[in-house]
Amino acid sequence: MDLGKLMNKHLTRYFDPSKTIPEETLQQLLGFLRSTPSSTNVQPNHFYVLATPEGKERLAANLGERFQDNSEKILNASHTVILTTRADLPGGHLQAVFDKERADGRFPDPAKQARWESMTRDFLNLRNYGYKDLNHWMEKQTYLAMGLTMT
């Protein structure tokens, strides 16, 4: 990895509407975004990609007064990625994560998988009922995905 490129990066403030992110590059970026880590692998976020003029116009029209300065960036960008955090963490979501981990063979030993699931539930219960900061914790997971993707 060439850390010099990372350290000397140029952050774009304005986008050239005549340029488009190639589909292969976009798919690589989205693949990376989907694979960003989250604590306990709970993945409490959703990602939306706006690529059509209509979608970007709809977002720009609903920014509100405080963020209206961003509308030009949204309209001129090839794609706009919106990262959102879940409002809650229902058991069905957690079960889907566990089912996927099993299907992927993350823990070949069923006892280790069961222990992992128990530890994850305990951790989330602590966040939800002990610290009462589950939503804040989930937001941090989304920021982690955003930061890694921006890098």
pLDDT over 90 percentage in the chain: 89
pLDDT reading at 61 higher than 80: yes
Look at residue 114 in the predicted model and tell me its pLDDT. 98
Q: What is the DSSP string of 107-130?
A: -SSHHHHHHHHHHHHHHHHIIIII
CA dist 17 and 35 (Å) reads: 29
Average pLDDT over residues 61-90: 95
Length in residues, the chain: 151
Mean of the per-residue pLDDT values of the chain: 94
Helices 134-150, 23-34: crossing angle, 10 deg rounding: 150
- pLDDT value of position 34: 93
Q: What is the pTM of this model?
A: 0.87
**91-120 confidence digits (pLDDT tens):** 999 999 999 999 999 999 999 999 999 999
Contact 120, 91 (CB under 8 A): no
Who has greater pLDDT, 150 or 65?
65
Q: Which tens digit of pLDDT belongs to each residue from 22-56? A: 999 999 999 999 999 999 999 999 999 999 999 99
For residue 19, give Cα distances in angstroms to 15, 25, 83: 8, 13, 23
9: pLDDT strictly greater than 90: no
What is the average pLDDT across 6-14? 81
Q: What is the distance between the alpha carbons of residues 119 and 112, in angstroms, rounded to a whole number?
A: 10
Q: What distances in angstroms separate CA 81 from CA 63, 77, 146, one per listed residue?
A: 14, 10, 10
CA 20 – CA 77 distance, rounded (Å): 8
pLDDT score for 21: 95
